[in-house]
């Protein structure tokens, strides 16, 4: 069935150093067969072999309304026809910034970049420039893109991704990046006391999506907020996954806690590469030309990306009920999965927060990647391969984080249960 895709995979492996892009590689790591997407519309995509899949990955999050969403398509086509004029100011950039400011709490200025990674890198640099301090506290298992390599300092080679207990995860220990434990305020307080006056910022996912949807425990974010205010530390919320997905104002709105700098990506670009970081005027004045932090990029704020982002946020603004619909669908999936997995006696824990949901396999045998890679892991076979055979595409990882999109019908959800 996947013969042609496999041939493509081999070809790609030959010409792309280190293999092909992450979703395909991740799929191979769990013993799956790579799926090459040929075209996509709404909740579905078709692979190179002509198979149709219900898509639960939504490009790892951005496609809130599904594939080939008309307003974004039209905006991109229109802007392309008008010429791209990269590197020149356009009204679109200002308009998108105004839109972000109107939707996200506590934000007065926005700067656009090309990815979530860049947004997080920029936020950290800005926090260092603003405070005049070097040290950053990050949380084991929170993912901030390949900027993790930057946060942890060049050369250390350590990247944290996924649950702190995931195989292959080495927490970074470089001297300027200190590692705390998510949901453990004490571990943060200990680090802060041991580095008095040296911590520039905390960076974290307000809902830890990359650990499999781990929500903040009561008092954790409140405690961090209070500590930051008291010690002059910058609180950075990495809202790349939660922004414009949990609510129009992201986790800050959903949880009622305010960050000093927030970073965005994924949904913001509607499927095009757009990232952003946003903060108060007071903090943002430390960017060049007024401040010490130089921030520019050849393609940052380009009109195609800005047009796509504007179309996406305008669609959300016109249809704020999209968040309620997504949450209802997620709750339906949650209930269905719980029932289905219960009857199969599979040891799992399902985490959900609003429209974010993850299924964790709690049995060590299930998390055995080596046997999975050799195709000997029955749970993975059941999960990934079984789902593929059913025509359902799940994001392959140590846990199942489903990214729902508005185009999914309840019948599509039933197929994944
Ligand atoms: N931060 C979070 C919370 C993410 O989930 C991701 C991507 O998955 C990133 C940052 C990195 O964003 P990008 O892949 O656009 O560089």
pLDDT tens for 142-179 read 888 876 655 554 333 333 334 434 333 344 445 688 88
DSSP summary character for residue 216 = P
Beta-sheet pairing, 135-139 with 177-180 = parallel
How much is the average pLDDT of 221-240? Answer: 98
Q: What is the mean pLDDT of residues 271-284?
A: 96
As a whole-number percent, the residues of the chain with pLDDT over 90 amount to 58
Ligand 1 centroid–CA 250 distance in Å is 15
Sheet strands (E) in 298-391? 348-353, 356-361
At 11-52, the pLDDT tens digits run 776 777 655 655 555 555 455 567 788 999 999 999 888 899
Give the long-range contacts of residues 73-79, CB within 8 A, separation 24 or more: 74/311, 75/307, 75/308, 75/310, 75/311, 76/272, 76/304, 76/307, 76/308, 78/307, 79/303, 79/304, 79/306, 79/307
List, for residues 108-140, the tens digit of each pLDDT value: 999 999 999 999 989 998 999 999 998 899 888
The number of the ligand 1 atom at minimal distance from the alpha carbon of 115 is 15
Enumerate the CATH 3.90.1150.10 domain ranges in the chain, comma separated. 3-68+321-415
pLDDT of residue 210: 85
Pocket test for ligand 1, best of 145, 151, 241, 401 (most atoms within 8 A of CB): 145
**225 phi and psi angles, rounded to 5 deg:** -60, -45
Interface predicted TM-score (ipTM): 0.99
Taking the centre of ligand 1 as the mean of its atom positions, its distance from the CA of residue 268, in whole angstroms, is 12
Mapped onto helix, strand or coil, the DSSP state of residue 176 is coil
Q: Please state which of the ranges 4-8, 77-81, 256-260 shows the lowest mean pLDDT.
A: 4-8
Q: Does residue 306 register a pLDDT over 80?
A: yes
Q: Return the CATH architecture of domain 70-318.
A: 3-Layer(aba) Sandwich (3.40)
From-to residues of CATH 3.40.640.10 in the chain? 70-318
Which residues line the pocket of ligand 1, CB cutoff 6 A?
60, 115-117, 120, 143-145, 205, 209-210, 238, 240-241, 265, 275
Give dist(CA 287, CA 291) in Å, integer: 5
The CATH number of 3-68+321-415 is 3.90.1150.10
* pLDDT of the residue at 370: 61
**What value does the mean pLDDT of the chain take?**
85
The tens digit of pLDDT for each residue in 69-99 reads: 999 999 999 999 998 777 788 899 999 999 9
Strands 356-361 and 234-238, how do they pair? Answer: unpaired
Residues 353-396 have pLDDT tens digits of 999 999 887 777 666 656 655 666 666 666 777 788 889 988 76
Before 137, cis peptide (omega within 30)?
A: no
**Residue 266 designated active-site:** yes
Cα(344) to ligand 1 centroid in Å equals 33
């Amino acid at each position: 069935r996947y013969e042609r895709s496999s041939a493509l995979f081999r070809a790609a492996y030959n010409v792309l150093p280190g293999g092909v892009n992450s979703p395909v590689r991740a799929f191979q790591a769990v013993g799956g067969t790579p799926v090459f997407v040929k075209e996509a519309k709404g909740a579905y995509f078709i692979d190179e072999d002509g198979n149709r899949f219900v898509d639960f990955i939504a490009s790892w999050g951005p496609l809130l309304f599904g594939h080939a969403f008309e307003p974004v398509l039209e905006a991109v086509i229109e802007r392309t026809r008008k010429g791209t004029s990269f590197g020149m100011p356009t009204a679109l950039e200002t308009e998108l910034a105004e839109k972000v400011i109107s939707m996200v709490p506590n934000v007065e200025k926005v700067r656009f970049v090309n990815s979530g990674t860049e947004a997080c890198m920029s936020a950290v640099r800005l926090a260092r420039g603003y405070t005049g301090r070097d040290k950053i506290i990050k949380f084991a298992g929170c993912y901030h893109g390949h900027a993790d390599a930057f946060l942890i300092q060049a050369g250390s080679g350590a990247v944290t991704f996924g649950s702190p207990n995931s195989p292959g995860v080495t927490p970074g220990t470089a001297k300027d990046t200190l590692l705390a434990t998510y949901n453990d305020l004490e571990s943060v307080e200990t680090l802060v006391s041991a580095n008095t006056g040296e911590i520039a910022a905390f960076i974290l996912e307000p809902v830890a999506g990359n650990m499999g949807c781990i929500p903040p425990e009561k008092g954790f974010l409140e405690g961090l907020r209070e500590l930051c205010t008291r010690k002059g530390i910058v609180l950075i919320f990495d809202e790349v996954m939660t922004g414009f997905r949990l609510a129009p104002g992201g986790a800050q709105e959903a949880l009622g806690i305010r960050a000093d700098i927030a970073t965005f990506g994924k949904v913001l670009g509607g499927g095009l590469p757009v990232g952003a970081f946003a903060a108060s005027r007071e903090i943002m004045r430390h960017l060049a030309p007024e401040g010490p932090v130089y921030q520019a990029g050849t393609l940052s704020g380009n009109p195609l990306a800005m047009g796509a982002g504007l179309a996406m946020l305008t669609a959300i603004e016109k249809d704020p009920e999209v968040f309620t619909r997504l949450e209802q669908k997620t709750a339906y999936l949650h209930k269905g999965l719980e029932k289905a997995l219960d009857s199969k006696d599979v040891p799992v824990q399902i985490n959900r927060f609003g429209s974010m949901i993850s299924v964790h396999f709690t049995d060590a045998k299930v998390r055995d990647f080596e046997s999975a890679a050799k195709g000997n892991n029955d749970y993975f076979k059941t999960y990934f391969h079984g789902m593929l055979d059913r025509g359902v595409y799940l994001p392959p990882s140590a846990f199942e984080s489903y990214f729902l999109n508005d185009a999914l019908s309840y019948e599509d959800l039933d197929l994944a249960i």
